[in-house]
Structure 1
Amino acid sequence: MSALLEVSGISVSFDGFRAINDLSLAIGERELRAIIGPNGAGKTTFMDIVTGKTRPDSGRVLWGEHFIDLVGMDEARIARAGIGRKFQRPTVFEAQTVEENLHLALRNPRGPFAVLFSRRRPEDAARVAAIATEIGLAEELPRLAGELSHGQKQWLEIGMLLAQEPRLLLVDEPAAGMTPAEREHTTALLRRLAEHRAVVVVEHDMEFVRRLDCRVTVLHEGRVLAEGSLDHVTSNPEVIDVYLGR
C-alpha cells in the first residue's frame, strides 16, 4: 500500500513541553487507521500539525504522490489539497436545513460573484442527495440541522467534509456521546468511507476501535509506542502500563 500521508521526524514543543517527539508514521490510500493513547499523548497535536493549525519545530509532513511538504502551508490550502478534519463537537449551521448545509459545503467556486449569483445546478442536487444517502440522512434533508440528534449532527458534519471531496479524513472521537445505535451506524459509515479514501480516527473507546477492525497506532509522549492490530497493541506490556492499566 502506497503512503498517502507520511509524517517524518516531527517534533514540537509548547513552553518547554515536548508534545510531539520525533514522530514518524504513514497512512496509506484507502486505509482506515485508529490512533489511541492516554491524554497528552500527542493525538490532537498530530492532527493540528497535519492540518496546518500548528507548525512543528522540525520534521516533514509529506502528502500525495508528489510528496508535497505540508509544513508551512496554511489550513485553507491544506484543506483544498484534500485533507478534511472533523472535530469532536459537531459544527453545523443549525438554523439551516440538512440539505442547505450540504449545498453550502459543496466544492464549488467561492468568490463573491459566484456566491451572489449562484444557482443550484442539477448536478449539485444529485451530489447532495448522494452524500445524504451515504451518511444516512436522506430522509432528513428538509429538517433544520439544529433539530438533529447528536449522532445525526456528527454524520452531517462528515457529509459536509465529503462534499469537499477529501482524500483523507481526520475524525476526532466520533463515538463520544452517541447512543449504541448511532455508534453502530458510525462504525459502518467510517468503514464504508475508507473504501474510497483514507480515514484516521482518534478514539478512546476500545470497543468502538475493535468494531472498526483496522490497524491501530498507540501514541505516548508524542511518539509511536506500538502499532498493529488492536489485540497486538493491547497485549503490549508498555501499552498496558501507560494506557490500559493492569
Structure 2
Amino acid sequence: MSTLLEVSGISVTFDGFRAINNLSFQIGPAELRAIIGPNGAGKTTFMDIVTGKTRPDEGRVIWGERSISLLKLSEAQIARAGIGRKFQRPTVFEDQSVTENLLLALKASRNPLAALLWKPKAADMDRVQALATQVGLLDALPRKAGELSHGQKQWLEIGMLLAQEPRLLLVDEPAAGMTLAEREQTTALLVDLAKTRAVVVVEHDMEFVRRLNCRVTVLHEGAVLAEGSLDHVTKNQDVIDVYLGR
C-alpha cells in the first residue's frame, strides 16, 4: 500500500518535557485511523507537528507522492497541500447561514480584491449542496449556524474543511458532547470519508473507536505503544497497564 503521510523518528521537547519521543507513524491515501492514549500522551502535539504549528527537534514528516517535507512548509502551505484539521470545539460563523459558511470555505482566490468582487456561480451553489448532503445538513442550508445543535455544528465544520478538498483530515474528539444519534451519524460520515481520503480521528471514547472499526494507534509518553485493531491493542498488557489503568 502506498503511503500518503509518513512521520519518522520525530521528537519534541518543551521546557525539558519530552512531549514526543522518537515517534513514527504512517497512513495510506484512503485509510481511517484512530489515535488513542491517556492525557499527555502526545496526541495534540502530534497533530500540531503534522499541521506545522509545532516544529519537532528531530525527525522527518514526508507528504504525498512527491515526498515533500512538511517541515519546510508554513501552516498555510500545509493546509493548501491538502491537510485539514478539525479542532475539538467547532468554529463556525454563527451569524451566517449554513450556505454562507460553506461558500466562505470553498477553494477560491483569496486575494482581497477577488474576495470583494466574488459572486457565487451555479457551480459553487452545486458544490455547497453536495457538501451539505455529504455531511447531512441539506435541510439546514438556510438556517443560521448558531441555531444548529452541537453535532450539526461539528458536521458543518467538517463540511467547511471538505470544501478545501483535503487529502488528509485530522479530527479531534468528534464524539464529545454529541447525542447517540449524532454519534452514529458521525461514525457513518467518517467511515464514508475515508473511502476517498485519509482520516485520522483522535478520540478518548473507546465505544466510538470500536464503531469506527479501523486500525488503532496507541500513544503513550509521546511514542507509539501499540498498533492494530481495537481488540488487538486492548489485549496488549502494556496498553492495559497505562491506558486502562489496571
TM-score range, shorter chain: over 0.9
Alpha-carbon distance in 2 for matches of 1:71, 1:220 = 23
Is the 1:103–1:124 contact (alpha carbons within 8 Å) kept by the matching residues of 2? yes
Structure 2 matches for 1:9-28, cutoff 5 A?
Answer: 9-28=9-28
Aligned match of 2:79: 79
Q: TM-score, normalised by structure 1?
A: 0.99
Aligned match of 1:227: 227
Q: Determine if the alignment matches structure 1 residue 5 to structure 2 residue 5.
A: yes
SS of 1:241 mapped into structure 2 = helix
Structure 2 matches for 1:36-185, cutoff 5 A?
Answer: 36-185=36-185
Alpha-carbon distance in 1 for matches of 2:72, 2:163 = 25
Name the count of aligned residue pairs.
Answer: 246
Alpha-carbon distance in 1 for matches of 2:172, 2:116 = 34
Aligned match of 2:238: 238
SS of 2:166 mapped into structure 1 = coil
Report the RMSD for the aligned CA atoms in angstroms.
0.5
Alpha-carbon distance in 2 for matches of 1:159, 1:183 = 16
Give how far 1:73 is off: 1.5
Give how far 1:7 is off: 0.2
SS of 1:90 mapped into structure 2 = coil
Alpha-carbon distance in 1 for matches of 2:17, 2:110 = 40
Alpha-carbon distance in 2 for matches of 1:51, 1:162 = 16
Alpha-carbon distance in 2 for matches of 1:62, 1:103 = 31
Alpha-carbon distance in 2 for matches of 1:115, 1:24 = 40
Deviations 1:173-225 (A, max 9, x none): 00000000000000000000001100000000000000000000000010000
Alpha-carbon distance in 2 for matches of 1:52, 1:245 = 33
Give how far 1:28 is off: 0.6
Give how far 1:245 is off: 2.0
Structure 1: where are the runs of 5+ without partners?
Answer: none
Alpha-carbon distance in 2 for matches of 1:119, 1:142 = 18
Give how far 1:103 is off: 0.1
Give how far 1:20 is off: 0.2
Is the 1:94–1:144 contact (alpha carbons within 8 Å) kept by the matching residues of 2? yes
Structure 2: where are the runs of 5+ without partners?
Answer: none
Letter of the 1:47 counterpart: M
Alpha-carbon distance in 1 for matches of 2:181, 2:162 = 22
Deviations 1:73-94 (A, max 9, x none): 2110000000000000000000
Give how far 1:72 is off: 3.4
Letter of the 1:73 counterpart: L
Aligned match of 2:199: 199
Task: Give structure 1 regions of 4+ aligned residues with deviation exceeding 6 angstroms.
Answer: none
Alpha-carbon distance in 1 for matches of 2:116, 2:172 = 34
> What's the % identity of the aligned pairs?
78
Is the 1:55–1:72 contact (alpha carbons within 8 Å) kept by the matching residues of 2? no
Letter of the 2:109 counterpart: P
Alpha-carbon distance in 2 for matches of 1:138, 1:60 = 41
